Amino acid sequence: MAKITMREAISQALMEEMDRDPAVFILGEEVGVWGGTYAVTKGFYDKYGAARVKDTPIAENAIIGAAIGAAMQGQRPIAELMTINFAFSAMDYIVNQAPKLHYMFGGQFTLPMVIRAVGGGGRQLGATHSQTPDAVFAHFPGLKVVSPGTPEDAKGLLKSAIRSNDPILFIEHATMYQVRGEVPDGEYTIPIGKSKIQREGKDVTIVTYCKGLELSMKAAEELSKEGVEVEVVDLRTLRPLDMQPVLESFKKTNRAVVVEEGWKSFGVGSEIVSRIYEEAFDYVDAPIIRVAQKEVPLPYNRMLEQAALPQVPDIVAAVKEVLK
């Protein structure tokens, strides 16, 4: 086991898959000569050349549209969106074309493509560059939405995503590239669409993913010192959603908190809570609480921004509330 950063994990996954399969190539804004705005593809241009690491115009429809076309005819493009906030410029492709083309033409077209996008707040980028709109994308059947919370998962899931024959939106978090974690030595993949217990506990279930996982693990540590053992279930994939570990955990603890960085209304938490009530109502001992972003556009000011984002103390308080 080696301890590496999230950035290294993602970079390694990309490189291993490019080495493995010549059909894999990268396209996006500043992925090549610049080395990636988050330095994930640093060194790729020199190693693989301009044909496989393609700098594009600042034109999201061209990027995602071209990735779809190339995927339809058999290549395996990885399109990088500089941030997920730019996904809205290519919304038609991400939600209205890529998820539909296989189905609508009777299974004729397959789209083995990955869209990598950086999301999340906390870097004082202002309201239009700080969003966590994962739930929006998870709404659409036909798209797969993956958002890992550890380097190990990021590497294994991205490798699976690149090998998959379906269009996959792979969401990374802007503040997590330096997060370190152990990854297995050598070749491994992690299946898409499988939730995972990241921490075992008996008292309360926290359901979360991505940045929420980092916060929830910290909250679990604090709570442990007070004698509360939290079980943390990491969704890892939002669609297709794997509720099995969530339900199994909930049937054990009978209490849950859902943590996400996006807005609460119509969010990931709304879906999880509904599913628990639909599928495990008899096990509910306390109302489930959602911890999420305040319902405001994210402000620039650091103090205000942090006040709007979910924090560890919010999670600790929510866990204590469901234990009352």
Q: What's the CA gap between 21 and 227, in Å, rounded?
A: 49
Give strand pairing partners of 291: 259
**Binding segment for other proteins among 89-97, 115-123, 198-206, 314-322 (CB under 8 A)?**
89-97
Give the number of C-alpha atoms closer than 13 A to the C-alpha of residue 181, restricted to the C-beta side.
Answer: 21
User: For residues 61 and 306, which CB has a smaller minimum distance to other proteins in the complex?
Assistant: 61
The catalytically annotated residue of 8, 129, 152, 231 is 129
Query: Which range, of 40-48, 103-111, 214-222, 296-304, touches other proteins by CB under 8 A?
Result: 103-111
Residues touching other proteins: how many (CB under 8 A)? 43
Q: Does 191 bind other proteins (CB under 8 A)?
A: no
Active site residue 129: yes
Taking CB under 8 A as the rule, does residue 108 contact other proteins? yes
Near other proteins in 214-253, by CB under 8 A: none
Q: Report the 10 Å Cβ neighbour count for 57.
A: 8
- Which stretch, 8-16, 72-80, 198-206, 281-289, contacts other proteins (CB under 8 A)? 72-80
Q: Is residue 33 involved in binding other proteins (CB under 8 A)?
A: no
Q: What is the smallest separation between the CB atom of 304 and other proteins, expressed in angstroms?
A: 34
> Minimum CB separation from other proteins for residue 15, in Å?
18
Residue 160 makes contact with other proteins by CB under 8 A: no
The residue from 19, 20, 33, 165 that contacts other proteins (CB under 8 A) is 165
Minimum Å gap between C-beta 87 and other proteins is 15
Of 115 and 204, nearer to other proteins (C-beta) is 115
Residues 51-70 that bind other proteins (CB under 8 A): 51, 54, 56-57, 59, 61-62, 64-70
* Least CB distance to other proteins at residue 19 (A): 17
In the complex with other proteins, the residue whose CB is nearer, 120 or 167, is 167
Distances (CA, A) of 56 to 47, 62, 66: 18, 8, 10
Which C-beta is closer to other proteins: that of 77 or that of 120? 77
Catalytic residues: 60, 129
Binding site for other proteins (CB under 8 A): 25, 51, 54, 56-57, 59, 61-62, 64-75, 77, 92-93, 96-97, 101-112, 141-142, 144, 164-166
